[in-house]
A = this chain, B = another copy of it.
Amino acid sequence: MSPPRVVIVGCGFAGLWAAQAFRKAPLDVTVIDRTNHHLFTPLLYQVATAGLSAPSVAGPIRHILADQKNVTVFLGEVRAVDLAKRAVRLEDGQELGYDYLVLAPGTTHSYFGHDEWAPYAQGLKTLEDALEIRRRVLSAFERAEREADAARRAAWLTFVVVGGGATGVELAGTFAEIARHTLRGEFRRIDPHNARVVLVEGANRVLPPYPPALSAKAQLALERLGVTVWPSRMVTGIDAEGVSLGAERLACKTVIWAAGVAASPLGAALGAPLDRAGRVKVEPDLSVAGHPEVFVAGDLAAVEKVPGIAPAAKQMGRHAAKNILRLIARQPSTKFRYRDYGQLATIGRNTAVAVIGKLELSGFPAWLVWLVAHIYFLINFRNRLVVMLDWGWAYFTYQRYARIIIRALK
C-alpha cells in the first residue's frame, strides 16, 4: 500500500512547520510554494531598508528540507483546490491528488477596494516587494539631488508610510534613521536630514494591538527619530504626486503601504465561512467544516484571539500536521490552543516595544529582547552569523551595506 499523500500549500512559517512535524512519518509529502525560499518575514523590512541583503532573510526550501526524505518540493502556484476530487491544480494545469491537505498560502496586500493605489503605494510581502521599496526610497534621494525645483525636491524628500502596525512603525523609524544618519555627508545639493517621514494610522494610536502605554512610547520614540506620526487619519487618495487625507493634501513621490492585508483567494473557493478579511473560519481543530482531511493554517486561518504573527503560524502549522498524524492513526483530532509568547516591534536603533505575558517592555530592554529573539529564530546558522555581522557593522558605523539599487533607471 502506498503511503498517504499530504500536500502542503505554501512554505511560510505555517507550511514549513507542518512539513517538519511530518519528519520520519511514513507519508508522501509534497510542499508547493510560489518561490524557492522560506522567507523570514519578521526581518523583511530590513531588506527593504537596505540593512540586509535578500539572501540573509531567506533559505532555499529544498535545502531546509533536504534531509527529510519523505518530502518533495515543487516550485509552483496552486490556483485551485478541488475538495470533491481531493486535488490541487497548479498554474500550468497540472493536478496533484492528496489524502490530506494543509492550506497555508498566507496573505497579500489589500488596498481596501482601491486597487488603483497599488502602483503608487508599494506593499511589503515578498523579497521582490522589499527590493522595490529599497529602489524607490534610495532613488528618491537620488532624484532629489538632481532636482532644481524646490517644491519638486521636497516631494522627492517626503516619504509617507500608510499603516501604523509593526511593519509601518519599523519602516518609518528606519527611513528616518537612513535620512539622518546613513546618508549624512553624501549629498552636495540636498541635505537628507530635511527628508520628511510621515506615518499615517487610521486608529487613534500606532501599534493598535499593543497596550496604550506602549503605543504612546512607540509614538514618542518615532518622533524622537524625526518621524511625523499622524494617528486618527484616513488616506482617501494616492496618486503619482502625493497622498490625500480628506481635505488635506501631502505632495510626495514615495508611498509605502503597510495598512492592510487580504487573505489568499484560495480560501474563498473552499465554500467555508470567511471573516471580513477573507480568512477561513476554521473548526477548533483547524480543519474546514465538512472536510476533516483539509486543514488551514497561518494567516489564512481565522481563529479568535490569534494574531497574524510568525509564532502563531508555526503553532498552527505544527498542530495541523499533528492532527493529520492522529487521523491517520485513527485517533480524533484535537483543538488548537494558541500559546502566547508575546509580541515585539522594533522602532529603531536601541528602541522597541514588547509584550511578554504580563510584562511590558520598551526602549533599550525591549530592543535587546527583539535582537536576541530575531537572531535566535533565523532559520539557519549561517544566516544568523551573517545577520549578526551585518548588524554589528551597522550599529557601530550607522552604515547600511545593502544600499544597492539593482534596477536604477527603471
* Residues of A bordering B, CB below 8 Å: 34-37, 53-56, 58, 60, 62-63, 66-67, 71-77, 91, 94, 127-128, 131, 138-139, 142-143, 145-146, 185-189, 382-383, 385-386, 389-390, 393, 397, 399, 401-409
Contact B389 A36 (CB under 8 A): no
Is the Cβ of A408 less than 8 Å from the Cβ of B54? no
| Closest partner residue, chain B, to A62 (CB atom) | B186
A383 to B401 CA separation, bound complex (whole angstroms): 8
Min C-beta distance of A369 to chain B, whole Å:
26
* Main secondary structure on A side of the interface with B: mixed
Interface centre among A67, A189, A409, by most chain B C-beta atoms within 10 angstroms, is: A409
**Which of A142, A383, A401, A409 has its CB near the most chain B CB atoms (within 10 A)?**
A401
18 inter-chain pairs at a CB distance below 8 angstroms, sorted by A residue, are A35-B408, A36-B403, A36-B404, A36-B405, A37-B404, A60-B186, A63-B186, A63-B399, A72-B145, A72-B189, A75-B139, A75-B143, A75-B145, A127-B404, A382-B397, A382-B399, A383-B401, A389-B389
A55 to B401, CA, bound (A): 7
Nearest-Cβ distance from residue A266 to partner chain B, whole angstroms? 15
Q: Which chain B residues border A66 with CB–CB below 8 Å? A: 185-186
The residue on B at minimum CB distance from A185 is: B66
Of B60, B397, B406, the contact of A127 (CB 8 Å cutoff): B406
Per the bound structure, the CA–CA distance linking A138 and B408 in Å amounts to 24
A315 to chain B, nearest CB (A): 26
Q: In the complex, are the beta carbons of B145 and A74 less than 8 A apart?
A: yes
Distance from A107 Cβ to chain B, minimum over Cβ atoms (Å):
18
Write out the residue numbers on chain B whose beta carbons fall within 8 Å of the beta carbon of A74: 142, 145-146
- Which residues of chain B come closer than 8 Å to A401, judged between CB atoms? 55, 382-383, 386
Q: In whole angstroms, how far apart are the Cα atoms of A382 and B386 in the complex? A: 12
A113 to chain B, nearest CB (A): 26
Chain B's closest residue to A380 (CB) is B401
A35 touches B389 (CB 8 A): no
Closest to A130 in B: B406
List the B side residues contacting A145 at CB < 8 Å.
72-75
Residues of chain B contacted by A53 (CB below 8 angstroms): 53-56, 402
